[in-house]
Structure 1
Amino acid sequence: MTKVLVLYYSAYGHIETMAYAVAEGARSASAEAVVKRAPETVSDDRAKAHHFKMDQAAALATADELPDYDAIIVGTGTRFGTVASQMRSFWEHTGGLWMAGKLVGKIGSAFTSSGTQHGGQESTLLGFIPTFLHHGMVVVGLPYSFSGQTGVEEVKGGSPYGASTIAGGDGSRQPSAIELEAARFQGAHVAAIAAKLGRSEAELL
């Protein structure tokens, strides 16, 4: 069975919600999907002072376990147009995996969240692609076969680079139905491609 890791960092819970939708999508494509989170890098006192969501059930991930999966779908909020430092810190610890080529040929995909419609969602997703490529991973996005990302009838995230949600300036907006649908679609799409790659590799062997 194809194994998918949904690896996320979520300060306020929006990406956490999206992560479980991504995992749901992967499971709908007959994959085993595990949801884990990157460790927090700020102190508990500071996190509480800034109203971070502290009650997240997902277990903490470690870099050493990444090779156990066929696909890794990364979720992180946008910070000034780029990946949140907590997720970046997690990947800073993957140098040993890079040196050993442990992630070569695996699927890499990403999703994100920002406070505003133009708050850096695309730059965050595009900015993470080099990390996947340095590891020799195969990058998968959110294709336009998910037609929900093309309409303008409502405020919504989503781009060909990955699913996304808009939290609102005060963080009060939660992922919408169409944004969660995009997350599920991406999870299923990644899982399906990972399964095809796995079959092709098995045939070569």
Structure 2
Amino acid sequence: MTRILVLYYSSYGHVRELARAEAEGARSVAGTVVDIRRVPETVPEAVRSKAGYIEDDTPVAAPADLTRYDGIIFGTPTRFGMMAAQLKQFLDQAGGLWAENALVGKVAAVFASTGSQHGGHEATLLSTHIPLMHFGMLIAGLPYSFGGQTSVSGIVGGAPYGAGTIAGSDGALRPTGIDLAGARHQGAHVARIAARLAGADLEREVA
């Protein structure tokens, strides 16, 4: 079985919706087991409540959990053109995995939610790739085999660097059908790559 983790941080639910679509896409690939986890919250409850953050009962992951998976799909909102601090703090705690080369060769992908079309959407996807490459992970984007990302019929999130959605400055926009389809496509794309790599490793072991 190929094991995929969808790991995310979400303040207002947009990234969580995409995470569920990513997981759905990964599960569509035969022989794939998918877990959805979130990174720990760092914002005090009083601040979260005042800001209208969602309540989220998704189980929390620990950095050590990452070693159990063949592929990991990371989701984050955009914070000034970069990943959210919560996800960055989680990755910063994975130094032991880096020292042990524990994530080398695993497939990684990123998806994001941004307040506006030009508010750092692609910058967030690309800059989140950087620490993953330091871990030695293999980056999978959102290939143009998903034609939805070329749509000009409305506001569409995502890019060749990963799936995404545009939330609007007040968070009122929800992921569109194209956004969710893109996330499912990316999830399946990651699962297929991870399965091929895992199968190649198994063949080498048998040989």
User: Is the shorter-chain TM-score for this pair beyond 0.5, marking a shared fold?
Assistant: yes
1:57 deviates by 2.6
Give the secondary-structure state (helix, strand or coil) at the position aligned to 1:60: coil
Matches within 5 A, 1:78-117: 78-117=78-117
Alignment-derived partner of residue 187 in structure 2: 187
Question: How many angstroms apart in 1 are the aligned matches of 2:8 and 2:130?
Answer: 18
Q: Does 1:51 align with 2:52?
A: yes
Amino acid paired to 1:17: E
Query: Which consecutive aligned stretches of 4+ in structure 1 deviate over 4 angstroms post-superposition?
Result: none
Pair 1:157-2:157 in alignment: yes
C-alpha distance in 1 between matches for 2:19 and 2:57? 12
> Which residues of 2 match residues 13-92 of structure 1 at below 5 A?
13-30=13-30, 31-54=32-55, 56-92=56-92
Structure 2 counterpart of 1:168: 168
Task: Percent identity, please.
Answer: 49
Query: Residue 98 of structure 1: SS of its match in structure 2?
Result: helix
Distance (Å, rounded) in 2 between the aligned partners of 1:119 and 1:204: 45
| Deviation at residue 120 of structure 1 after TM alignment | 0.5
Q: Take 2:119 and 2:192, find their aligned partners in 1: how far apart are those partners?
A: 30
Tell me the CA shift for residue 78 of structure 1: 0.2
After superposition, give the CA deviation of every residue in 1:28-49 in whole Å (9 maximum; x if it has no partner).
0121110000111111011111
Q: Partners of 1:6 and 1:58 in 2: how far apart? A: 11
Distance 2:121 2:203 in 1: 38
Equivalence map 1:130-141=2 (5 Å): 130-141=130-141
TM-aligned CA deviation for residue 10 of structure 1: 0.1
Distance 2:163 2:193 in 1: 17
Shift of 1:189: 0.3
* One-letter amino acid matched to 2:39: A
Aligned-partner Cα distance in 2 for 1:121–1:59: 27
Cα deviation, 1:101-146, whole Å, max 9, x if unaligned, reads 1101100100000111111110001001111111111110000010
**In the alignment, which residue of structure 1 is the partner of 2:4?**
4
In structure 1, stretches of 5+ residues that fail to align are: none
Amino acid at match of 1:40: E
Once residues 47 and 156 of structure 1 are traced to their aligned partners in structure 2, the CA distance between those partners, rounded to angstroms, is 28
Structure-2 separation of matches of 1:95 and 1:106: 16
- Give the residue type in structure 2 aligned to 1:117: Q
Separation of aligned partners in 1, 2:14 and 2:193: 26
Query: Aligned partners of 2:132 and 2:176: how far apart in 1?
Result: 28
| Other-structure match for 1:118 | 118
CA positional deviation for 1:199? 0.8
SS in 1 for 2:20: helix
AA at the equivalent of 2:160: P
